[in-house]
Amino acid sequence: MRQAATLFLSLLLSTLLSAASWANAPVVSLEDLKPQPEHRRSTRLITHVIGNYHYRNVPLDDALSKKILDRYIEALDPARSYFTQADMNEFQQHETRVDDYLRSSSLNPLFDMFVRFRQRLGERVEYATKAVDGKFDFTVDESFDFDRKGAAWPKDTAELDELWRKRVKNDILSLKLAGKPLNEISTTLKKRYDGLVRRTAQLNSEDVFQTLMNAYTTAIDPHTSYFSPRTSENFKIRMSLSLEGIGAVLQSDNELTVVREVVTGGPADLSGKLHADDRIVGIGQDEKGAIVDVIGWRLDDVVDLIRGPKNSVVRLQVLPKGTALGGPTSTVAITRNTIQLDEQAAKGTVIDVKRGTGVAKIGVITLPTFYMDFEARSAGDENYRSTTRDVRKIIGELQAKHIEGLVIDLRANGGGSLSEATELTGLFIGPGPVVQVRDSQGRVQVERSTEPQVDYKGPLAVLVDRNSASASEIFAGAIQDYHRGMIIGEPTFGKGTVQNLVDLNRFDQTMNGKLGQLKATIAQFFRVSGSSTQYQGVVPDVGFPTVMDDDDHGERSLDNALPWASIDPARFTPVAYSVDRLDGVRKSHEKRISTDTAFQALLATERAVSDAQKQKALSLREDKRRTEHDKARAEQRTRENQIRVARGLPPLPADAVTPEIEEEDDEFRKPDEKDKALDVILSEAGNVLTDWIYADTADKRLVDNDRETKSGSKPGASVTVPPPRATEVH
């Protein structure tokens, strides 16, 4: 607990800083929120590409106009807590006109709606800021409806005030239950509300245009989207796993830009002058460029100033960690260089799986995404980064450690490069068809692996979950169709469509690179067996139990998703294997997890999360809420300790306090070594693969990658592949 004098000084400095920040932060005036020439040009190109080349032929007419308007309004006000019914009545005049606005590139009426949104948000925050200092009775039995999707729009300002009174009351109660001192709650919430206004006031016409265009594209299918120039740059960085900058992960904390992490081996790390928790308050270019005050700036604007060409210099004005606000700063000059973003790169580890009195060494390759540095490869760089190259190297390292089997961990892998998914499959099957692609004209092209030989011939399992999508499903589906390995885990996401990235700047050089990119759905994936991964996903050979409803997740939960379909199978030869052997592995798995306290605790945690997600309202009565809060935390601690004890770790004290994480920090949380040690799912995947390896049968052909079937078919012969165990969804 801080001393009163220290608290007052800190709050005073924070208030002064906030007031000063608004004078320097690049706030966008309402008058500047209007379509720019590049937006009109982009609109013409986007409507042309979608109208002529999209996989799904959806006419731009009055019916689509209504859908676009609904999605645009939902993007602005998803909780229906800013606009009133009167606003909605006014907006309805555009219901059948949005298609006309898009065809003529006359977007002013839709930009005016965003201006109205910003005005309404300012009014709501002004109300909330005043309400924070009011008196609230936490003994009244009332509730806060936080999930208002589909609810009636507030009929007037009075009804909005009531919604926001409950929202403020809930915010105060949440901080009380989290242990926040009463004398800090008001200041914390005012800063939070002020930040909401500040961030919204920094949204520019480019942001509005991107929101509007994505309302249009997602009204056709969920995976077609528009990338603004800034978003396009970030997408390229994610695909290549590299950028040119200083090597620091930044976070916005109220008005300040905080160094969350310094990337090991990057320029900032090698300089020794920038550290985690330092705060960047100014940025200058080159050796003598003026320092620009960036207090109060939106994070991506700060990042834009810090990024730059390799070998150029950026100067950072830094408020060091631990220095009070308003204290002395230092200026740090750093030479930019290429940064490798290893967080998303493939990684290899070895886990020990108990087997009788001994252990089996199982290799694990964790693959968060399918990446490829296309620019480096096109430039002739022999050391360009790619998934297949990295995995081939890791396989060699793991085999040198004498692993008995290999797990490819694709959990939460949302996809990436199609070519990399195809070539990676080749490391395990050699040359051959991997996936079929059907375009909007019905033409089918077979994507084949060109790998001349198999890099790994041993026992293989692919671990997937409900967030494994797109390229992950191509890889997992091919491994399953070839019977090259077992698929373990949950049914996958079900994204079986192909997107092509169209650089709009190629069509108009006069716009100087301001047009952005369109990611448009142009085709659909089909497995070599002929079944689509779309909608249904890949059904595991050994399914792990889950309490989540399939219809609430994945492609099945998305509006305008394409249905499941099938085509003729490709010509390929799967590995022969014993179905009885696989049945035995399933039975062993089911028996083991039924008595595994760690696995059952994990299911109980998932059930609690599912129940919480279904909740649409919170009680505002403190005693009831506190009871629910304490019960939930106690139950969660019990489940945590069940997992810890089962994994040989000491239990946490029952009364230990779990630190509260600020909502803006969630995306920066990273698993530590303790989290990895408690990975119950990976542990069971190792058990399942080990069961396969030591199954009491002479049929070892899945292990040694024998591609000749029992019936005597030779490679290249057409085969009929058994369908997945689950019922297909059409």
Active centre residues (catalytic): 470, 481, 495
Exposure b/e, 79-98, CB count within 10 A at least 16 = b: ebbbbbeebeeebeebeeeb
The total number of residues written for the chain in this structure: 730
Where would I find the H helices in 308-453? Answer: 374-378, 387-400, 418-429
Which residues are bridge partners to 619 per DSSP? 143
Token digits of residue 639: 């489940």
Mapped onto helix, strand or coil, the DSSP state of residue 101 is helix
| Sequence-ordered list of residues with C-beta below 8 angstroms from that of 398, at least 6 positions apart, any chain | 348, 350, 363, 365, 406
**What pairing do the DSSP bridges indicate for beta strands 486-489 and 542-543?**
parallel
Q: Which has the closest alpha carbon to 577: 426, 697, 456, 461?
A: 697
Mapped onto helix, strand or coil, the DSSP state of residue 173 is helix
| Sequence-ordered list of residues with C-beta below 8 angstroms from that of 581, at least 6 positions apart, any chain | 692, 695, 697, 699
Give the span between the Cα atoms of 171 and 128, in whole angstroms.
10
Give the span between the Cα atoms of 695 and 577, in whole angstroms.
12
**What pairing do the DSSP bridges indicate for beta strands 432-439 and 405-409?**
unpaired
**What pairing do the DSSP bridges indicate for beta strands 405-409 and 358-366?**
parallel
Give the span between the Cα atoms of 33 and 272, in whole angstroms.
42
Mapped onto helix, strand or coil, the DSSP state of residue 629 is helix
Token digits of residue 196: 């909401």
Number of C-beta neighbours around residue 36 at 10 A = 16
The strand ranges marked E within 325-392 are 330-335, 337-340, 347-355, 358-366
Give the span between the Cα atoms of 311 and 64, in whole angstroms.
49
Cβ–Cβ < 8 Å for 438, 523: yes
CA dihedral of 114, 116, 119, 125, whole degrees rounded to 10 = -80
Q: How would you classify residue 46: left for phi > 0, otherwise alpha for psi between -120 and 50, otherwise beta? A: alpha
**Kindly report the CA angle at 189 between 81 and 202, in degrees rounded to 5?**
65
The DSSP element (H or E) to which 205 belongs, if any, is helix 205-218
Mapped onto helix, strand or coil, the DSSP state of residue 88 is helix
The DSSP string of 486-500 is: EEEES------EEEE
Token digits of residue 185: 């709650």
The DSSP element (H or E) to which 460 belongs, if any, is strand 460-464
Where would I find the H helices in 457-556? Answer: 471-481
Mapped onto helix, strand or coil, the DSSP state of residue 485 is coil
Which residues are bridge partners to 519 per DSSP? 225, 501
Which residues are bridge partners to 653 per DSSP? none
Which amino acid, residue 47?
Answer: T
Which amino acid, residue 288?
Answer: K
The strand ranges marked E within 174-312 are 225-227, 242-245, 248-253, 256-262, 279-285, 292-293
Cβ–Cβ < 8 Å for 291, 317: yes
Token digits of residue 302: 């700060």
